[in-house]
């Protein structure tokens, strides 16, 4: 071993300055056969008595077979044909020449065979020198050369200037030492040496010193293989570092940042080297780094999703948490450690974005339940852009915005599946709810109906979630739900009609019948509001479905209102039969009964919701006044004097005021009915024809459905038999009828006189007409007074008109 040191060969077990200790004496690239002990023969002793075993070892070292081509036993070192062994010694003993993996493995094996003998000799020499120093004492100080040459009292000359030593040539590292640097995560330094080794390989293959073809090819192939294996080891450490740094800061956050900085330096060095290599030989470590980031991101997301509870929604929430956690690590610790030119944050973001797109695409291809499809669409359209990308500075990305997680076709397919499932599920659910509710309609138990609430909850579950995903999807879902609602309401209308057509329910359960009818009416407002809301949100083609839903609800409401009003007026009919008689003229008993009964029944109607209640009260108000005016126009009472007309008009005004107070208390909105009875009273009480004409004109203007027969009946009750006056008054009604002949009839809720049928007006026969034709004994005087008026003959018409 001292001989090796004297020759300039470093001890493999003692690390040089600036190098790392070797972990193993075995070369990982090539197995070198060791030296057998019997090959090292004893060559005798040197003059000083020591063994020449080491010198013999060097001779053996110069002629080892594994490092010499064409070696034969007995050939001496340095003999002809021993160029390989001399080249090996030159590599081992000459500074500045890189040792290959085989050379370093050989030295390590030799060191192992000589370790024991060297340790014994060195130990014995050290003990002897220590004993001599103890007996000799300290070494005396000698005078320097300057003190002996320069006389006393004279100044010593200045020392000669030091000549700068030539710079020491940096010794290149072996392959094993470079591998050791990689394993110790000194990646930037290892990459520098790999680039040097690669440059040597390129230089030797491109135009080196001529030599034997076989030797040159073997050396070049070994060096290229060493470079490839070193790059594989380097990349393994680089990508392992990418995975480890994403796992979290851990206790060695500073060391992790330093390793990331070395990773970035390696990428910068390799990118510069790719420019020298050319397009065909570029290693593209930067692109592979991006791929490694994407793989690490995929592993991180896949590890977070499977263990999350709550189905797909829980997995998506776990993905969101993992994304925010990892992107926080990248933003705060990893991205600042990379060189700025690499755009590290954008690379990591794109890697996670691509990994997430793969995960969502795989989930979308599975057959998911409706709830999971809703969760996937909502997370894709709302949660990810708002809660993940919303926290990221997308302007910092090099290539602009990120692509979509799912393609438009995939999203459209998920939406179509949702619409199809909602249509099928809601149809079945709505029919089931209707059937369950219908079973309680004829029950004797008082049970509140929850039909409207159940229907609204079934549909609003979808109509509220879909718009939160996207506006277009919300419109499609609203149109789908509106069509299902219209279909349900048509079925609901049919079942309500069957319920009211059953006479047994009305006879056996009169109280429950009214209560059930009110509950059916109460289903209308919430369902109508839902239909209107869906029509506003949905596309324009939703209007027919909205009209169908509204029509079905209108029919149900009118039917139930008519049933309730018929039941109420059956109870009020005896009181209406007492009106317009002489007893009515003297006593308010009949009207008091009407007002009392209406007020009592209104308490039960208060359970109805506001909208249908207002409509029902307005209908009751109209029908009450129609029933009040009907006996008057039917001629039940005749006024034969001005005093009687005045009493009847006063009584009409009092009853009109009482009815007006009643319906105001019942919150009736049909204020247009308040003036009808006062107008009739004015026509009865007025004496002059012009005033009657004006009042008739006002009556015809306010109530367009009045006809001349109604005015004629009113004039008959007034006792106006003057033909000229009657014709003048009726002419006003006729002129207004003709001027409004093209106008449409008023709507049903504004009709009044059209519901009152008036008998054909009679006329009085004069005695001269029948005096010579009819025997007076056959007719009494009252019979002569009023007979049916003869219909005037029709004017002649042509056959085509007939």
CA distance 446 to 440: 9
Lowest-confidence pick of 40-44, 68-72, 293-297, 409-413: 68-72
Structure tokens at 358: 């793969």
pLDDT for 604 equals 83
CA distance 717 to 286: 108
CA distance 521 to 607: 10
pLDDT for 733 equals 83
pLDDT for 337 equals 92
- 382 secondary structure, DSSP code: I
Nearest alpha carbon to residue 616 among 561, 674, 570: 561
CA distance 200 to 97: 11
Q: State how beta strands 787-788 and 762-763 pair.
A: antiparallel
Structure tokens at 512: 């429950």
Q: How many separate helices (H) and strands (E) can be counted in the chain?
A: 30, 2
pLDDT for 258 equals 85
Q: What is the pTM of this model?
A: 0.66
| Alpha helical stretches, state H, 538-587 | 543-577, 582-586
DSSP 589-647: HHHHHHHHHHHHHHHHHTTS-HHHHHHHHHHHHHHHHHHHHHHHHTTSS---SHHHHHH
pLDDT for 353 equals 92
Confidence of residue 678 (pLDDT cuts 50, 70, 90): very high
pLDDT for 47 equals 45
Backbone angles phi, psi at 763, to 5 degrees: -140, 160
Mean pLDDT of the chain: 76
Nearest alpha carbon to residue 99 among 178, 189, 172: 172
CA distances, 695 to each of 117, 649, 698, 733 (Å): 145, 14, 5, 11
Mean pLDDT of 684-689: 90
Mention every residue, 6+ apart, whose C-beta is less than 8 A from residue 525: 609, 610, 611, 612
pLDDT for 677 equals 94
Mean pLDDT of 537-551: 93
Q: Is 178 exposed, middle or buried (0-12, 13-18, 19+ CB in 10 A)?
A: buried
- Answer whether residue 55 shows pLDDT above 70: no
Task: Provide the greatest CA pair distance for the chain.
Answer: 198
CA distance 604 to 682: 36
Mean pLDDT of 417-421: 94
CA distance 283 to 120: 52
In our burial notation (b when 16+ CB lie closer than 10 A, e otherwise), range 425-460 reads: ebeebbeebbeebeeebeeeeeeebebbebbbebbe
CA distance 572 to 597: 7
Confidence of residue 619 (pLDDT cuts 50, 70, 90): very high
Please check whether residue 375 is in contact with residue 312, taking contact to mean a CB–CB distance below 8 angstroms. yes
Task: State what percent of residues in the chain have pLDDT above 70.
Answer: 67
CA distance 448 to 540: 37
Mean pLDDT of 429-455: 85
pLDDT single digits (tens) 624-654: 999 999 999 988 888 888 899 999 999 999 9
Structure tokens at 629: 């005016």
CA distances, 508 to each of 435, 503, 515, 640 (Å): 22, 9, 14, 50
């Amino acid at each position: 071993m001292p001989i090796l040191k004297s020759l300039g060969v470093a001890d493999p077990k003692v690390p040089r300055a600036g190098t790392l200790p070797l972990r193993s004496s075995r070369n990982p690239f090539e197995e070198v056969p060791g030296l057998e002990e019997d090959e090292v023969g004893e060559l005798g002793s040197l003059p000083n008595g020591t063994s020449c075993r080491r010198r013999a070892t060097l001779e053996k070292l110069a002629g080892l077979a594994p490092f010499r081509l064409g070696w034969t036993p007995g050939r001496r070192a340095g003999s002809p044909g021993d160029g390989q062994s001399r080249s090996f010694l030159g590599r081992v003993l000459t500074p500045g020449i890189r040792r290959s993996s085989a050379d370093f493995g050989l030295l390590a094996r030799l060191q192992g065979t000589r370790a024991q003998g060297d340790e014994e000799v060195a130990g014995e020499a050290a003990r002897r020198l220590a004993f001599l120093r103890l007996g000799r004492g300290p070494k005396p100080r000698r005078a320097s050369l300057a003190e002996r040459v320069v006389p006393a009292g004279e100044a010593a000359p200045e020392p000669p200037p030091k000549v700068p030593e030539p710079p020491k040539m940096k010794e290149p590292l072996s392959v094993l030492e470079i591998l050791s640097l990689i394993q110790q995560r000194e990646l930037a330094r290892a990459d520098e040496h790999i680039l040097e080794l690669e440059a040597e390989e390129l230089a030797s293959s491109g135009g080196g010193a001529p030599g034997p073809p076989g030797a040159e090819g073997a050396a070049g192939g070994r060096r290229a293989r060493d470079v490839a294996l070193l790059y594989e080891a380097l990349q393994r450490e680089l990508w392992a570092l990418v995975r480890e740094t994403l796992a979290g800061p851990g206790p060695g956050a500073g060391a992790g940042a330093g390793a990331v900085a070395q990773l970035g330096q390696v990428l910068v060095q390799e990118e510069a080297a790719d420019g020298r290599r050319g397009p065909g030989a570029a290693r593209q470590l930067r692109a592979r780094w991006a791929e490694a980031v994407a793989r690490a991101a995929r592993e991180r997301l896949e590890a977070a999703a499977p263990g999350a509870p709550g189905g797909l929604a829980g997995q998506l929430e776990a993905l969101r948490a993992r994304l925010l956690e990892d992107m926080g690590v990248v933003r705060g610790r990893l991205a600042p450690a990379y060189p700025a030119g690499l755009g590290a944050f954008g690379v990591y973001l794109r890697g996670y974005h691509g990994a997430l797109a793969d995960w969502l695409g795989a989930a979308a291809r599975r057959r998911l339940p409706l709830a999971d499809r809703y969760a996937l669409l909502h997370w894709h359209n709302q949660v990810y852009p708002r809660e993940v990308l919303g926290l990221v500075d997308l302007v910092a990305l090099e290539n602009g915005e990120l692509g979509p997680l799912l393609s438009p076709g995939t999203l459209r397919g998920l939406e179509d599946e949702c619409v199809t499932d909602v249509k099928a599920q809601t149809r079945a659910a709505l029919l089931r709810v209707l059937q369950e509710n219908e079973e309680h309609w004829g029950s004797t138990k008082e049970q509140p109906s929850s039909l409207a609430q159940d229907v609204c909850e079934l549909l609003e579950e979808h109509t509220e979630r879909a718009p939160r995903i996207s506006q277009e999807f919300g419109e499609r879902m609203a149109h789908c739900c509106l069509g299902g609602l219209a279909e349900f309401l048509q079925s609901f209308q049919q079942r309500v009609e069957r319920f009211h057509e059953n006479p047994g329910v009305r006879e056996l359960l009169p109280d429950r019948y009214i209560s059930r009818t009110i509950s059916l009416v109460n289903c209308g407002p919430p369902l109508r509001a839902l239909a209107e809301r869906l029509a506003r949100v949905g596309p324009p083609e939703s209007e027919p479905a909205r009209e169908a839903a509204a029509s079905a609800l209108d029919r149900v409401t009118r039917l139930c209102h008519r049933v309730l009003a018929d039941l109420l007026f059956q109870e009020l009919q005896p009181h209406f039969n007492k009106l317009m008689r002489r007893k009515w003229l003297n006593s308010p008993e009949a009207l008091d009964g009407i007002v009392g009964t209406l007020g009592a029944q209104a308490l039960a109607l208060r359970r109805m919701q506001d909208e249908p209640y207002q409509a029902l009260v307005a209908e009751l108000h109209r029908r009450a006044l129609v029933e009040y005016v009907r006996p008057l126009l039917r001629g039940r009472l005749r006024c034969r004097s001005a005093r009687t007309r005045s009493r009847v008009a006063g009584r009409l005004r009092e009853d009109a005021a009482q009815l007006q107070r009643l319906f105001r208390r019942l919150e009736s909105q049909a204020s247009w009915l308040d003036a009808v009875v006062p107008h009739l009273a004015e026509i009865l009480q007025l004496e002059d024809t012009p005033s009657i004409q004006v009042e008739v004109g006002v009556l015809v203007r306010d109530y367009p459905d009045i006809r001349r027969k109604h005015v004629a009946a009113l004039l008959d009750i007034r006792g106006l038999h003057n033909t000229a006056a009657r014709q003048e008054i009726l002419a006003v009604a006729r002129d207004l009828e003709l001027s409004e002949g093209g106008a449409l009839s008023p709507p049903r809720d504004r009709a009044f006189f059209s519901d009152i049928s008036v008998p054909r007006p009679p006329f009085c026969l004069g005695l001269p007409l029948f005096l010579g034709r009819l025997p007076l004994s056959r007719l009494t005087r009252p019979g002569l007074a009023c007979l049916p008026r003869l219909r005037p003959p029709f004017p002649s018409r042509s056959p085509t008109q007939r």
